[in-house]
Structure 1
Amino acid sequence: MRIWLHIGPEPAAAARLQQVLDDKRANLLAKGILFPRSAGARNDTRLFMAVTDPAHVDPLRHARGLADPDRQTDLRARLAADLAAEIAQHQPHTLILSAAQLGSSLHRASELDRLHALLAPLSEDIRILAHVDNPARALARHYAAQIFEGRAAPLDRDLALASAPDWWQACLATMPAIAPDLGQFEETQGAPFWLDHAALTAFWEGRFGTGNVTLRPYDPALFASDTVTKELRAAFEIAPSIGKAKPAALPEQPSAAWVARARQLNLLLLRLLEQGRHIPRALWRSLLAELAVPGPPIDPATLDLSAPTWAEADPLNGYRASQYLLAFLHRIDRATKEATRTPAPENPALPPQAARQLAALRRSPYAPHNRLGTLTEDTPAAPYTPAPPRDLPQGSSGRVIVGCMKNEAPYILEWIAYHRAIGFDDFLIYSNGCEDGTSEILDRLQQLGLLQHRNNDSWKGKSPQQHALNKALKEPVVRNAEWIAHIDVDEFINVRCGNGTLDDFFARVPEATNVAMTWRLFGHNGVRGLADAFVIDQFDTCAPRYCPKPHTVWGFKTLFRNIGAYSKLSCHRPNKLAKDQRDRVRWVNGSGQDITAETAERGWRSSTKSIGYDLLQLNHYAVRSADSFLIKRQRGRALHVDRAVGLNYWIRMDWSGVRDLTIKRNLPRLRAEYDRLLADAPLRALHEQGLAWHRARARDLHQTPEFRALYDQALRITLTETERVAYALALDMES
């Protein structure tokens, strides 16, 4: 097996290649080429962090809680095992690893020794690949990137090194003493030694062998177009075609004036760190972003190292960094107060690995909080008014929900009534393996003309849910729909604008064709037994709005306009976008913001860039009551029938740290619609029988030692939001 190790150092080249490698991962694997997931989701940063010298703490290791040498050692051991396992599973003839930080950060021979020792057990054939640009262009981009990471030294310092006899060594002499709490990192404050391409080659060949390093030119035009796949194939010697790719646009360079403003503020912020202030990276970046002014970027022509003519740009408009700092101080002081607050005593419920995760999480950008968006959620508001009935055009089935159910009898009527009340017109429901009367309730609702029920007991494939969704696309009720959503009976679409109806939301996003409805996970809220009461009224505590980890919290389901753009319906979204439909789709998030570039063709989770809850969210009551959780644990899950729903699921899904009452504004119109359903005597009887079945099943499960132990263990666990994230990450059940 040959290993291709792509070391950057051009971050734009690396990011573009990594995106295509990720997009084509399955295609490449079918050809015997492995781009492993274990080294990193896309950028192999785990590999980089595992091989730096213990004392070489870079911004990544610091941010991810790996500054401690023991934790870095653990990472290295896990990575070695994970890489070996992936290779053993897939038996590739080629392994591709890519991390731009390797080329732009490693300059110690000991670090190359560590890297070689990690990879040598996998293969003796290791080739190093680097993309390099004209030094002036590369320097302009690198300097701007350093500024937005906190660099304070002006570019004059680096340009003065051009007259030194050895650029590599002269740059290394600028490296600061590493002090993360003072913002002193080699990567941020040091000069770019790697611009000496000959020295870069000699350094890497010194460990990996003469002739094993290939430098390829970085051509922004090539990497900015569909032809990036040609470069990828040529660089990694991939003979068969891997198809075309449409990578995202290269980021625009900041204006020279903005860079000047940011550098001058950095100088003051670093002084605050020396005085004991605390400035989280997210806050630092936010402050620099507020300094933005338009204008041309730094001109590489002024950075010709043989005769530089660069001078720092005018920051414009009479800018004074000290004035901005005064305006920012209250936010910095607040962050300092939060950082210096006495930490809570260690929670005995956390296993050791979760406790280690917690320590790293508290100072990372992934720490959860509720400071996202502007909507007030914990204050009761006036009830919504009933929505007028909709008149559908001839032949249209209107807005349709496709759902799958198994043993959900106590919850069906509320779910149907609620979604009818906010503006859905029809439902196509598949059921399989039901014992509690779910099928009979659905049959009665079909007799009343309120939905269409299909038996799914004969499902085939990996899951009953996907089998049903494949069938659904052939149903007239779906083919004639205006809008389609696939959601489960524990998910409620919470429109948080206007009168809380779909009409109100659509009026805010008239051009949208797809809506990523991000989950808000609601916990059991102290409710243990099964009550004949509304789910949306019993459970009003949930996850904080900002919670990017674990990955399940920001999952989304999709409400999409039926324009024929996609040919497959999957659990979270439509898939297989037709090439000629790409320009017709416009995805928005729950705040109405355009997220098409991120989600048009892939993905089922919101990111820090695409999250939004202001206008709409998907309330996900995955746990409900503690007894309901036991029953779910007993029956498994519809999508993954081979996975148990145990304590891991409870920890990931039982969020009760903040309160969100917004959906309760629907209670009066829900009650009116619900009572209309219960006015049908046969339907009421079936509902009551289903509730009795669930209560009896819960009693039986309480008598079973395995389930009683699970119930007691789950209810004993008390976690803060941050502790829950740490625990879930430690479990790492599905990541």
Structure 2
Amino acid sequence: MRIVLQIGPDRATGDRLARVLAEAQEALRAAGALLPRDHGPRGAARLSMAASDPQRIDRLRVQQGFGAPEAQAALRQQIARQLQEEVAQHRPDLLILSAPQLGSGLCSRAELQSLRDLLRPLSDDIHVLAHLDDPARLLARHYAAQLVAGRSTSLTQDLALCEVPDWWQAALAGRPAADPLAGRFPEVEGAPFWLDFARLEAEWQAVFGVDRVRFCSTDPHRLYGPDALAEIGAAFGLSLTGRSRPEPLPEAPAEAWLTRCRLMNDALQRHQARHGQSLPPPLWRSLLTEIRVAGPALAPGALHAVSARFAPDIAALCARHAGFDAARMAADPALPDWQEADPLYGFRATQYLMAFAPRLGQAGPPPAARSALPPEAQQALERLAGTPFAPHNRLGTCDETAEAPAYSAAPRPPRPDGRAERVIVGCMKNEAPYIVEWVAYHRAIGFDSFLIYSNDCEDGTAQILDRLQAMGVLQHRDNSAWQGKSPQQHALDQARDEPLLRQAGWIAHIDVDEFINLRCGNGTLDDLFARLPAETTHVAMTWRLFGHGGVTDLSGDPVIAQFTDCAPAYCPKPHIAWGFKTLSRTTGAYAKLSCHRPTKLDPDQAAQVRWVNGSGADMTGEVLHRGWRNSRRSIGYDLVQLNHYALRSADSFLIKRQRGRALHVDRDIGLNYWIRMDWSGARDVTIRRNLPRLRTEMARLLADPELARWHAHGLDWHRARAAELRGLPDFARLRAQALALRLTPTERAAYALSLDMES
């Protein structure tokens, strides 16, 4: 097997290349190539973090929780294991690892050797590929990216290196010392050493071999156009056919805004150092965005001295590398020498700093870990606080805490053909008190029917479902004879052949503790579909995890009325927090129903699949083939989210603990489950707008005497079972431990990370 490392080092080019490759998984596999999971656009930095010097303070590692050498070592072992597993599974001829941070972040031979040693167990046939551009154009893009990341030093220091004989060494020597508390990192503040392409070639050749390093140049118009796949495939020695999804060329920011960013970064760094604060990167970027102005961009021609400095090297490299095109590497026409632009309108960073002061005060040092946190969780808290993975509630456009006017009734006339167009598939065991509310709610927002599987029920669940079937509301199947790894997957495998699903237009698989919260229009499916792109085939409905909110006893009140405490909207960790379930159009593109999403894509139909997130934004490239959770790039709640009441009350949690799980039947529900699911720190009441029409539909259903009798029986059964479990020492101890926990969102995320096998 041959390994090709695409090392950037230009981030914009590398990210676009990774996105195109991620969208072309089927074409790559057909050509015998593999782009591993977690090494595409989102996970590229992990490889660089795993190979960097463990004693060097690296911005990526610090902000993503791998700053400590032992955390980096664990990351390195995880990457090695994942790569070995994927290679063993797919047995590719070519393994592609695309990570622009490798070229721009690894700056010593020891780090390159560390990278080589990480990959050698997979294959010793390792090749290096760098996509390069004119140095002045690269410097202009890189300087802008550094400013957004917090750079406070002027471009003057970079241009001064044109006068020194050894750019590489001078750039590294001129980096300031790291000061994470002040938000200052050498790779952000310093000049890009890697603009010395000849030295870049020599360093990588010294470790990987003279004939193993290739440079190529790329036409941006082709890279961002529909022919990008062929362009990129040629660089990897692959003949890839098909059209790529074009993207607009990245728009260069105004030079006046770059000056504002530099001045603001300097002020923020001094503020952090003075007050001992650590601003979360999302907040820092948000502040820079708020001072943005329009205007002309930084013209690479003003940096002509950099192009001239390296022109002889580039000419020699073009002669040595077949893919290095002298025409593409030609410099922009020279302009007057660069001078920092006026920030416009009398901009003063200190005035903005004063305006931002209330928000800066809220972003103080992370709270001390509580005594309830074990040492592993305290370590996770230290790694998590102040990083892009720390939870917060600054996401989305919806006011989630204000009680809004109720939705109006939205009756849907029966379909003339009698066909159920919108169907929910669900699996249940001992859920009697909750079924009528769940069914009534989803009927009220526009679902036509339900296909429900139950197994081994004792509380009247089966009888409730049978009665609802007799009333024409749903179809019920006994799943007690399930086989395989889980009753849920067995049921979903059986459901594929059901006429109800074969004739449906849209299908959602959700559980009875999950409510589809439509946050647009009048809160119906029709309102949602009217706001989605017309070509949408799949909607990722992201979980919002709701905690017990101080409710300890079982109640007959609606679940959506009782529970409002929830996870912050921005909660990328732990792994489960941004899981999603899928609302799918039945196009036949996928052959298998699974818990979170359909799987087994038909390659011939891949081009017709369009996934969107809960805000209607396209995320096809991220989840076309795999994935059941959103990323920071794809998260969105504005139109729809999935309210997940995994715990409900403390007594309900005890019954769930005794009942067990529907999918992961081999995993216990204990304190670790409570820690992962009992979220607070945010409040969301948006679903309460459905209460009037929910109560109307529930009353209509419960007007049936037999259904009402079994519904009451189920509630009585659960109350009696809860009382019984509270009398058992193990359950009583678990309940007391759970209710005693008082955790902030960041502490909960850290605690969950220390326990979570999936994060």
TM tier relative to shorter chain = 0.7 to 0.9
Distance 1:55 1:660 in 2: 43
Name the structure 2 match of 1:261: 257
Distance 1:417 1:355 in 2: 44
In structure 2, do the counterparts of structure 1 residues 625 and 328 end up closer, same or farther at CA, with 3 Å as the change threshold? same
In structure 2, do the counterparts of structure 1 residues 369 and 676 end up closer, same or farther at CA, with 3 Å as the change threshold? same
Counterpart of 1:309 (choices 327, 335, 354) is 335
Distance 1:64 1:113 in 2: 23
Match of 2:575, SS? coil
- Superposed CA deviations along residues 403-436 of structure 1, whole A, max 9, x for unmatched, are 2222222211111122223332222222233333
TM-score for the superposition, normalised by structure 2: 0.83
Within-5 A mapping of 1:132-171: 132-171=132-171
- Superposed CA deviations along residues 117-176 of structure 1, whole A, max 9, x for unmatched, are 655677665544433333343333323322322334454543443343333233334322
Is 1:437 the counterpart of 2:435 in the alignment?
Answer: no
Amino acid across the alignment from 2:475: Q
Amino acid across the alignment from 2:372: A
In structure 2, do the counterparts of structure 1 residues 220 and 500 end up closer, same or farther at CA, with 3 Å as the change threshold? closer
Amino acid across the alignment from 2:637: Y
8 Å contact from structure 1 (residues 511, 586) kept in 2: no
Counterpart of 2:266 (choices 270, 278, 294) is 270
Name the structure 1 match of 2:250: 252
Amino acid across the alignment from 1:326: Q
Distance 2:535 2:96 in 1: 38
Structure 2 unaligned segments of length 5 or more: list them.
Answer: 310-333
Match of 1:523, SS? coil
Match of 1:547, SS? coil
Distance 1:510 1:126 in 2: 43
8 Å contact from structure 1 (residues 40, 46) kept in 2: no
| Deviation (angstroms), 1:328 | 5.8
Distance 2:374 2:29 in 1: 37
Within-5 A mapping of 1:162-311: 162-220=162-220, 223-224=223-224, 246=244, 249=247, 252-255=250-253, 258-275=254-271, 276=274, 279-290=279-290, 292=292, 298-300=298-300, 303-304=303-304, 305-306=307-308, 308-309=334-335, 311=337
- Superposed CA deviations along residues 343-380 of structure 1, whole A, max 9, x for unmatched, are 54431221212111212322112222223335444444
Number of equivalences: 725
Name the structure 2 match of 1:490: 513
Name the structure 2 match of 1:525: 549
| Deviation (angstroms), 1:114 | 4.7
Name the structure 2 match of 1:322: 347
- Superposed CA deviations along residues 169-217 of structure 1, whole A, max 9, x for unmatched, are 3333432233334443332222222122221122233344554434344
| Aligned Cα root-mean-square deviation (Å) | 3.9
Distance 2:422 2:634 in 1: 25
Does 706-715 or 679-688 show the bigger shift? 706-715
In structure 2, do the counterparts of structure 1 residues 73 and 7 end up closer, same or farther at CA, with 3 Å as the change threshold? farther
In structure 2, do the counterparts of structure 1 residues 259 and 422 end up closer, same or farther at CA, with 3 Å as the change threshold? same
- Superposed CA deviations along residues 36-70 of structure 1, whole A, max 9, x for unmatched, are 66889953433423443455323212322444xxx
Does 599-608 or 532-541 show the bigger shift? 599-608
Amino acid across the alignment from 1:48: S
| Deviation (angstroms), 1:589 | 4.1
8 Å contact from structure 1 (residues 482, 561) kept in 2: yes
8 Å contact from structure 1 (residues 262, 291) kept in 2: no
Counterpart of 2:415 (choices 371, 392, 396) is 392
8 Å contact from structure 1 (residues 470, 568) kept in 2: yes
| Deviation (angstroms), 1:490 | 0.7
In structure 2, do the counterparts of structure 1 residues 563 and 37 end up closer, same or farther at CA, with 3 Å as the change threshold? closer
Distance 2:21 2:483 in 1: 32
- Superposed CA deviations along residues 484-538 of structure 1, whole A, max 9, x for unmatched, are 3222111112233454444444455584744432221111223334333322233
Distance 1:585 1:234 in 2: 26
Distance 2:85 2:472 in 1: 55
Name the structure 2 match of 1:690: 714
Distance 1:336 1:290 in 2: 14
Distance 2:479 2:710 in 1: 20
| Deviation (angstroms), 1:270 | 0.5
Amino acid across the alignment from 1:330: A
Structure 1 unaligned segments of length 5 or more: list them.
Answer: none
8 Å contact from structure 2 (residues 226, 246) kept in 1: no
Does 23-32 or 102-111 show the bigger shift? 23-32
Counterpart of 2:647 (choices 614, 617, 623) is 623
| Deviation (angstroms), 1:598 | 5.2
Distance 1:26 1:194 in 2: 34
Within-5 A mapping of 1:670-709: 670-699=694-723, 701-702=725-726, 706-709=730-733
Amino acid across the alignment from 2:73: R
Is 1:604 the counterpart of 2:633 in the alignment?
Answer: no
Does 717-726 or 535-544 show the bigger shift? 535-544
Name the structure 1 match of 2:566: 542
Is 1:73 the counterpart of 2:98 in the alignment?
Answer: no
Distance 1:157 1:286 in 2: 27
TM-score for the superposition, normalised by structure 1: 0.85
Distance 1:28 1:634 in 2: 47
| Deviation (angstroms), 1:446 | 0.8
Amino acid across the alignment from 2:77: A
| Deviation (angstroms), 1:473 | 4.5
Name the structure 1 match of 2:331: none
Distance 1:310 1:146 in 2: 23
Counterpart of 2:369 (choices 341, 346, 351) is 346
Name the structure 1 match of 2:10: 10
Does 212-221 or 614-623 show the bigger shift? 212-221
8 Å contact from structure 2 (residues 433, 556) kept in 1: yes
Amino acid across the alignment from 2:575: H
8 Å contact from structure 1 (residues 7, 100) kept in 2: yes
